[in-house]
Structure formats: structure tokens, C-alpha cells
Structure 1
Amino acid sequence: MLTLFVVSACASGTGGKTAAGSTNEDAPVSASPTEKATETTQEEIELTIFKYGGVTLTNTEVETYFKPVEKKFPHIKIKLLDIPEGDPIEPLITAGTIPDLIFGGGYAELKEKDLIADLAPLKEKYGYDESRLKPEVVSAINQSSEGNQLPFSINLPVLYVNKDIFDRFNEPYINEVKTWDEIIGIASRLTRSEGGVQYVGIDLSPTRLGSGLSLDIIDPVTGQAAVTDEQWTKVFKTLEKLYAIPGFVQGEDYRHDDKDDVFYADQNLALYTHNLAQLVGPLEELRQQGVTLNWDFAPHPNFEEALGTSVEINVHRFAITKGGQYQDEAYQVLNELLSEEVQRLVSRNGRVSVLNNPELELEYGADIEVLKGKTIENIFKADPRELNAENANERKITKYIGEAAADLAIRGVDVNTALRTAADKINKDLETLGKTK
């Protein structure tokens, strides 16, 4: 793999040589490095995108968002690789196919696999104005990726509401930020069986609840499990209340939101906690197919002490692949995605812009028919939380948090025992991985 990277790196494309932002009042006005590259580069090239880590990016979105980019750089074509969702990137590289751009993926994991190009020289060459970005985006990108990924959009969490279920049981819609305890109270009134259908008020993920308090799974100081403290206990006590609702746990079945289509396929889940990017697109596709669903947005809840915030910020971002053939061109394309023209398209087509421009939030979803008439303002009533430092091993041991929830729901295990068992499993895996301190 390293050999492939070295060989490919030697074939990297070239770009301008003047640092962006440098000026000389006595010198004649000259084209920017980006403009020079556009003028002088005639070779037609294709930049490929690999989706990593389960993020959503469709061909339609690529055509929409990259259209202004291809207009500015007519010699560059953008293509989303036709790879099955969740397929690993390593076999591609081993086979000699190195994608130019990686969309999504945890930086620590990508860095561990030596897949990330250093963007510092490219930023110096072509410029990068982070003052135009939302401060929380700048903080998240610099903290989580050492500045080696560029932001594209914010994937905000929200509550999706099945209004038909609320109407059926005479429950008022939710337009104010509520605590998780209040939401569970509402869910208890909506979890009932009627007409042969088992309705469920809401399902909750322990990791999403934990993210609402910015909780670590691995202690950043000790390198060991951090899941037995008071805060994680509060998370699992909340789950315990949910699982105690009559009709929620049905034998061995306690998960009601573990399928992406559960909200619009089964239509028996009253409240669905999910992100904008994962569900708005499918709902619009259903509308185009003539399938209607009476739904809306509610503000994202949290615990009392964190009310008004949602979960740790989730910034969808791009990286340039180490060893990619056209790194200069790839960087110019990514920088152009941060133009106001593209970011306006981002906002109007159902993603949240990373630019620090409130006007773009007012245009959110304007070009998406399925969002017309929805309570858009509810999306922005809870602010994303600051990102915790990422641990490369966290994705490998998160499964034990889910197992602890299962112990609680269907095996009758108490909260403290479930968390201690999870901690033991996490520490054992970390020891095997050689990452404990």
C-alpha cells in the first residue's frame, strides 16, 4: 500500500505557486492562484469520491453541489464511486484505485490507516479563509482533524414527529425544547396497542444520550473505560424509564429504531431521533413516488443541565487521499465548495451550511418540496455541542454500550451491573489493542 502511495504521489497534479492573500499595492493586479490554475490547466481530469463511515451522499447531491464547481473548473469532472454502502477503502487502494476525495469517516481512524493528505501546504498555496465559517465548525475541524479535513455541511439532529399518531391519541405537537424525562412522559402516552398495531412513542440510543452530555467512552487521561461514572449512570437510568413503559419491550425485542426506514415504512413510531441528512432525502424520494406521510420537526431534547443543546457537532467533511494523483485540483474543488454560491445550494437542498451566515438558515430546505410547510425553526432551537477529542479505538468498542442497554432491557440486569460489565469488556479489548496507558 505504501508503495502505491509513493508512486501515486510522484504523479500528483500541479497548481499555482503564489500564496493566496499576498498583495503588493505597487504591482499590477494579477490572477489568483485558483484562477491561474483554471487558465493554464487544459488536461481533462476526473476526481473520484469515496464515501466512508456510513455517511450519506447521493449522485443527485453530487450533481447539484458540484455543478458550480465544474463550471468554474470546466476541465474537472466529479464522480461518486459506485461502491456498496459500508465497503472498506483498503481493497480499492491495494488494487491500485486511489480515490481523490474521502467524504466522511472519523479522522483518527483515517489517520491510523495513513489515508489522509496533509492540507497545510495546499492551504498556504491556495488560501483558506476560516473566518467565514461558523466558530463551532472551525473548532470541530481543527480539534478533530488537525485541520486536514475541510467542512462541507453540518448534520444536525432533530426529532421527527409522526403527526398522525399524535392526532390519534390527542397528544399536542412539540414546539418547545423539552427534557428527556418530559419526552419519555409523552412517549409513555403514545406507546399503546390499538387496532392490531403496536405504537411506540420513541426509541433512544445510549450513545446519542451520552453525546448530549459530551460523555467520553474512553477516558482521555487513563485510556480506560469511562462508562461507570455518575453521568453514564444518569443516561442508563433514563433508558431504564423508557424500557419500563408497558408494551415497549416485547420479549427479546427492545429496539424500534434500528432500521433507517422505520419512521416512514412501518409508521408506528411517534417520535424518531435522527439526523437531517439521513432522512430528508428519503422522505423527498417517497413524496416523488406518491407516498405521503403526515410528519413534522420537533426541537431536539436533552437533560435539564444541557437543555438548549443537542449532541456533539457532526460536521460532514472531505479529506484528500494521501497518494491521490490530483491533490492540487482536489483542494481547489473543496475550497470552492465553501463558496457562498455552493453553500446556498447546500442549505436550500436540505443540508445545514457551515458558513457563518444566518441568512442561509432562513433558506434551509427551500428547494425541497417535502419540507414545504414544515416547522423549520424547530431544527435550530437546540445548538450542537462542542466536539469531544476523538479516540481512534472508540468505534471498535462502542458495541459494548449497546450490549449494556440490551442487558438492561431484556435480561433484567440493573444499571450498575450493566455498566460495570461494559467497562470490563471495553478494558479487555483496549488491552488487546495495546492502547491502555
Structure 2
Amino acid sequence: MKKIVVTVILTALFLVTACAQDSSNTKTNNGQSATAGTTEQAKQPAADEPKEQIELTIFKYGGVTLTQTEVDTYFAPVEKKFPHIKIKLLDIPEGDPIEPLLTAGTIPDLIFGGNYGELKEKDLLADLAPLKEKYGYDESRLKPEVISAINQSSEGNQFPFSVNLPVLYMNKDIFDRFNVPYINELKTWDEIIDIAKQLTRSEGGVNYVGIDLSATKLGSGLSLDIIDPATGQAAVTNKDWTKVYQTLKKLYEIPGFVQGDDYRHDDKDDVFYVDQNLALYTHNLAQLIGPLEELRRQGVTINWDFAPHPNFEEALGSSLEINVHRFGITKGGSHQEEAYQVLNYLLSDEVQRLVSRNGRVSVLNNPELEKEFGADIEVLKGKTIEHIFRAKPRLLNAENVYERKITKYLGEASEDIAIRGADVNSALRTAEEKINKDLQTLKNSK
């Protein structure tokens, strides 16, 4: 009984003492006492104190497409999440270099696009590792091929935003004109070339072309190296590259395909919707949906649809090596932490759903988002959307730092075959010799 009485008295005394303390005293979450009005607390901004308003600028690098309309759409949830941040797309012609901006003292906060090797060589990107550690980065939500591409091609120093899938577009009016059935199933390149033969002809003063292809595109469908990673020498005379060029040769031999010295028919982005004489057009999804929607708004209608992306027999069901559109944070930028938080939020379900519904392919490993692809784009209404996803992108092949500087020789080999009648083996041997000569010069000048 005495123990109980003592306990009650002590408890009462404790409560009285607590009530007698200055009412401004509080307890922190970890149980330590903190007094309002102390120097320590005065340094901390109030929870509802407005943050400094800042503007994050975006620079498009390397000719990638990102419109003001897309920025307004995709970053609206970001600006709602972070009301103190405004996003601005720099008004610079697509493909212009970044160096003049830096020289003038204007450092953009974010870089959209660009080859990582080139960005690294110019020392333009900030190291994301400390920011990832501080603010988190959940790559488990991404598609496996996206994870592979980002980690391999950019050492984790770029942020994935969307996947730019390769697509086969059909001009249905040309198919109808020549009574050729639409393509609704996966086809090999040989089958596509057989179809192209039926669609390559002249009528009414118009030279119609079935399809145009490039060596690099076909090679990507087999994940072929141009430079052998083991030897550092050209690797374009093997059986796989020979198969690529034999396929191109079949295309060039279609009557009417080569017209004088002209053997390229898809070397400008607007050929499909301006010239409208190309029956099948292999191009990236992001580069064409926007222009087609703009034309629709202008009252220009084109009777087109998607076909499943072809490949060689042994790789059927896959398309080309994955192409991930990505952001980087500029080294020397004044708002790197805010920029990182913005990029991290671009991977939220909310933003990635907008990405998918507005014509870009989400990087998230969520099949439900594919079902919503293009739902907010009028020009995609009624299109066979499922054909976009019939062929899956291939894992990214390791790119040699010199590769982009020597791919022109693959084009020269194509021209030798198409225009000058060279046989495949001779054209490839010549290309290999030129590549190795340039590689030696590039290595010596490093």
C-alpha cells in the first residue's frame, strides 16, 4: 500500500512540475527537449515558410526532340509537387551546340539527350552518385533493358525519361493503290523486301518506293559491333555484317529503287508525311508522332498505321538496340539538388503515365502503362497501338568511343554496292580498311 501511495505522490509532483515549466518548452520527436525561441531553433525555417523561387533550365543536346508543349505537360506535376520550382526550356534551335552558352556564362541546369561519351569528354555532366545517396533512386521500378542501358552507356550519370522505340509506319493509301495487304504480323526483312518489290513502281508521274533501309539499322537488329571490343579493330567483314549487306543488295536490286545516283529515300524526317511516296518507313516513335499530330491540327490527314517491327529470322520478336531518352544534371549548375529531385519525380507513376498517354514510351516496368499509350494524342486514335510493342527493344551493345566517328564508312559501302555495283565482300573489305586507318589516326592523336 505504501508503494502505491508513494508512486501516486511522485506522479502528481512530476505533473505539477511539468505544468510549471515555461509553456514554450516542447519535446522533439526523438525525446530530446527543445525550447522555442532558442538560437538553435531560430536557424531552422518554419515548416510553412516559402522556399526561394528558382528556375531550372533545360538544354536539348544532339538534335533530340523535346517540345514546349511536352515540357508544359510532363512538368506540370513537378511544378505542383515543388511549387518553388519553375521549368524553362531554353529557346535554342535544335542541334545547336552548348559551348556558346557556357562561354557566355549561362549554365543550363539540365541537359536532355546527347551521347554520353561526348558529354563526358566535354566534362558537362555532374556526378549523380552523391545525389542518389542523399535523395534515393529506385531503379527496381525500371524496365530491365532501361537499367542495362543507363548503367552501361552512361555509368549511371544520366536519368532515364522515356524509351524511343523504333517503329515501322505504313502509308495505307500506297498499299491500297497497289492492292497489297497491310502488314499485321511479324515479318523478316526478306519478307518485307518482297512486299517492297510490289510497292516500288512509278505511276502518275510519282516514283513510289516500298521501303528504305540502312546498314546501321539492320546491324542494330542483331546487336553487331562495328569495332571489335577485344581487338579494337574494325569488325565488319564477318558473316553477320555480310548478311546485312546482302539484304541491302536485294533492296537495291528492286527495279526502280536506285534512281540515277540516288539510292537513299528516307534521309529526311519529313519524307513520310510530305513527299508521301514511301510506303513503309522505319523511324523512331518520338520523332514522328509530334509532326503527325501537328499536321492533323492543321487539317492535313494521312492514311497511315503501325506495323510490327521486322528483323532477321534469328532475332524476330526483337527490334533494335534500346534508345533511352535521358536527362543529365549540368556540372557547375547552381541548382543541382533541386534538379535531381525534379528528375527523380519524373519517374513517378503520375508523370510516367502522362509520358505514356502523350506518345512517349514509359521507362517503368509497368505493362499497364503500355495499354494507355497515346490515349491523349488525337492522331493516334484508331491506330493499331499494339503493333508498337510486338517487337521488344534489344539490350544496348557496348559502344566504342570512336564508333560514331567511323560509321560513315558503312554508308560508303552501301553506296559502293548501290551505285557502283561493287560486290558485298569487296565493299566491306574497303570499309574495314578505311575504318582501321581512321582508328589508328584517332588513337595516335588522343
- Larger C-alpha radius of gyration, 1 or 2? 2
Q: Is the 8 A contact 2:64 2:95 kept in 1?
A: no
Select the residue among 334, 339, 354 that pairs with 1:330: 339
The equivalent residue for 1:307 is: 316
Write the letter of the residue equivalent to 2:425.
N
- Larger mean CA deviation between 422-431 and 148-157 belongs to 422-431
- Does residue 353 of structure 2 align to residue 369 of structure 1? no
Write the letter of the residue equivalent to 1:331.
Y
The equivalent residue for 2:241 is: 232
The 5 A counterparts of 1:128-277 are 128-277=137-286
CA distance in 2, matches of 1:157, 1:89: 27
Distance apart, 1:331 and its partner CA: 0.3
The equivalent residue for 1:15 is: none
- Larger mean CA deviation between 224-233 and 62-71 belongs to 224-233
**Equivalent residue of 1:322, what SS?**
coil
- Does residue 73 of structure 2 align to residue 64 of structure 1? yes
- Larger mean CA deviation between 97-106 and 121-130 belongs to 97-106
**Equivalent residue of 1:277, what SS?**
helix
- Does residue 89 of structure 2 align to residue 103 of structure 1? no
- Does residue 98 of structure 2 align to residue 85 of structure 1? no
Per-residue displacement from partner, 1:237-268 (whole Å, max 9, x unpaired)? 00000000000000001110001000000111
How many aligned residue pairs are there?
405
**Equivalent residue of 1:434, what SS?**
helix
CA distance in 1, matches of 2:158, 2:80: 24
Distance apart, 1:41 and its partner CA: 6.6
Q: Give the alignment's TM-score, normalised by structure 1.
A: 0.90
- Does residue 53 of structure 2 align to residue 44 of structure 1? yes
CA distance in 1, matches of 2:125, 2:107: 12
CA distance in 2, matches of 1:113, 1:37: 42
**Equivalent residue of 2:75, what SS?**
helix
CA distance in 2, matches of 1:215, 1:435: 26
Structure 1: state its 5+ residue gaps: 1-25, 29-35
Q: Is the 8 A contact 1:310 1:383 kept in 2?
A: yes
Write the letter of the residue equivalent to 1:397.
I
Q: RCO greater where, 1 or 2, for CA within 8 Å and sep 6 or more?
A: 1
Select the residue among 106, 114, 125 that pairs with 1:116: 125
Distance apart, 1:390 and its partner CA: 2.0
Distance apart, 1:324 and its partner CA: 1.1
The equivalent residue for 1:6 is: none
The equivalent residue for 1:421 is: 430
Q: 1:436 to 1:178 in 2, by over 3 A?
A: farther
Distance apart, 1:236 and its partner CA: 0.5
Distance apart, 1:45 and its partner CA: 1.2
Q: Is the 8 A contact 1:99 1:321 kept in 2?
A: yes
Per-residue displacement from partner, 1:272-325 (whole Å, max 9, x unpaired)? 000110000100000000000000000000000000000000010101111111
The equivalent residue for 2:82 is: 73
CA distance in 1, matches of 2:426, 2:151: 38
Q: 1:371 to 1:306 in 2, by over 3 A?
A: same
Write the letter of the residue equivalent to 1:285.
E
**Equivalent residue of 2:259, what SS?**
coil
**Equivalent residue of 2:194, what SS?**
helix
- Does residue 418 of structure 2 align to residue 404 of structure 1? no
CA distance in 1, matches of 2:435, 2:124: 26
- Larger mean CA deviation between 317-326 and 390-399 belongs to 390-399
Q: Which runs of 4+ in 1 moved over 4 A?
A: 36-41
Distance apart, 1:66 and its partner CA: 0.5
Q: Aligned Cα RMSD in Å? A: 1.7
Q: Is the 8 A contact 2:141 2:364 kept in 1?
A: yes
CA distance in 1, matches of 2:59, 2:229: 30
Q: Is the 8 A contact 2:358 2:374 kept in 1?
A: yes
Write the letter of the residue equivalent to 1:261.
D
Distance apart, 1:162 and its partner CA: 0.2
CA distance in 1, matches of 2:63, 2:387: 26
CA distance in 2, matches of 1:97, 1:435: 34
Distance apart, 1:52 and its partner CA: 1.2
The equivalent residue for 1:10 is: none
Distance apart, 1:185 and its partner CA: 0.2
Distance apart, 1:40 and its partner CA: 6.4
Write the letter of the residue equivalent to 2:254.
I
Select the residue among 291, 297, 316 that pairs with 1:288: 297
CA distance in 2, matches of 1:40, 1:223: 58
CA distance in 2, matches of 1:110, 1:184: 38
Q: Is the 8 A contact 1:119 1:148 kept in 2?
A: yes
CA distance in 2, matches of 1:98, 1:233: 46
Write the letter of the residue equivalent to 2:379.
V
Q: 1:168 to 1:367 in 2, by over 3 A?
A: same
- Larger mean CA deviation between 214-223 and 376-385 belongs to 214-223
- Larger mean CA deviation between 161-170 and 43-52 belongs to 43-52
Select the residue among 352, 361, 366 that pairs with 2:361: 352
Q: Give the alignment's TM-score, normalised by structure 2.
A: 0.88
Q: 1:418 to 1:41 in 2, by over 3 A?
A: farther
The alignment-based identity, stated in percent, is: 83
Write the letter of the residue equivalent to 1:223.
G
Structure 2: state its 5+ residue gaps: 1-28, 32-44
Distance apart, 1:217 and its partner CA: 1.1
CA distance in 1, matches of 2:422, 2:104: 47
Q: Is the 8 A contact 1:100 1:330 kept in 2?
A: yes
Q: Is the 8 A contact 1:69 1:336 kept in 2?
A: yes
CA distance in 1, matches of 2:279, 2:46: 53
Per-residue displacement from partner, 1:48-85 (whole Å, max 9, x unpaired)? 11111221111110110001101111111111111122
